[in-house]
Amino acid sequence: MRVTEEWGDAIEAFLLGQVAAGKAASSRKSWAQHLGHLAKNVYTGPWAVTTDDVAGYMASMNWAQETRRGRRNTFEAFYAWAVATGRTPSSPVDHIARVKPSDPRPRPVPDSIYLAALARADEDERLWIDLAAEHGLRRAEVAVIGSRDIVPTLLGHDLIVHSKGGKVREVPLTRAMAEALLARAEEQGKGYLFRGEDDGHVSPQWVGKRVARLLGDPWTMHKLRHRAATRFWVAAEGDAYVVADLMGWANINMVKVYVYLPNDRKRAIVEGASRVGARLAPVT
């Protein structure tokens, strides 16, 4: 089902405004997908949409909490723009309650699942898996790696990672990953390392789908980032700032969302606090 011309023009104008504001292409693509899906399911023009229309649409979708939160944020931004530019007098999203962030539930992919996926993977898939599991990259960040993003340093090679919102960070590459990416760059020449039909590079959705298929339900490429964050945290001896820097987070509280506190630490705390591990105070 295609969106109507009225919806298409509205979405295009909104996205043009985001280009003018310097918003990242990855963000604009997500907004286009969110708004396009809304347009196909409300059966009315964008300026005739009511609060009940948006609420009914959102209620009918079996989304995860963070997906629901992201969609509402997109609709809020779209209609705030529409009000500001005189396209509609009010936003139908204003009276829809904000969606709270989901409670932190880190679920790093277990080593047995990770290693089994590597054994089944082809050359590209092995790189994608380890870029997520050992370097903390998102699927969208993996998809757009270019030959110029591999940079030499005094200690080896770093990867310039093009992140959400147009942000950039540098992540040190393991020796094995640096050699593999440099070999791929030499073989293919300048440009994207993983080429496809999504503006010249492979689609992030396709990357995520192939990795998820190798991992098996319920594991996803995103859960490999949980694994990376947890292992970074252990290797950094609990230095949350280092973990946040490697993972590309502006908010250090994201550590709580991704890092699964190893059971051996929690067990040591419980044992140490027990009557066997610590002397009890005398009863008076």
| Domain ranges for the chain | 5-84, 111-265
Give pLDDT, residue 179.
97
pLDDT value, residue 280: 55
Per-10-residue mean pLDDT, the chain, length 284: 92 95 86 96 95 96 92 96 96 94 85 96 97 96 96 96 89 97 93 94 96 96 95 91 92 87 78 72 55
φ, ψ of residue 161 in degrees (nearest 5): -105, 125
CB 253 within 8 A of CB 241: no
Token pair in block for residue 117? 């996926």
What does the DSSP 8-state code read for residue 192? B
**Residue of 104, 82, 108 whose CA lies nearest to 93:** 82
pLDDT at 202: 96
Q: What pLDDT was estimated at residue 253?
A: 86
Report pLDDT for 81. 97
pLDDT for res 269: 83
Tell me if the bond preceding 218 is cis, omega within 30° of 0: yes
Q: Looking at the structure, give the CATH architecture of the domain made up of residues 5-84.
A: Orthogonal Bundle (1.10)
Phi-psi region of 22 (alpha: psi -120 to 50; beta: other; left: phi over 0): left
| pLDDT in the model for residue 252 | 87
Give the pTM. 0.75
| 3 state SS of 68 | helix
Q: Two tokens at 29?
A: 């693509």
- Domain 111-265, what fold? hpI Integrase; Chain A (1.10.443)
Do 133 and 197 touch, CB atoms closer than 8 A? no
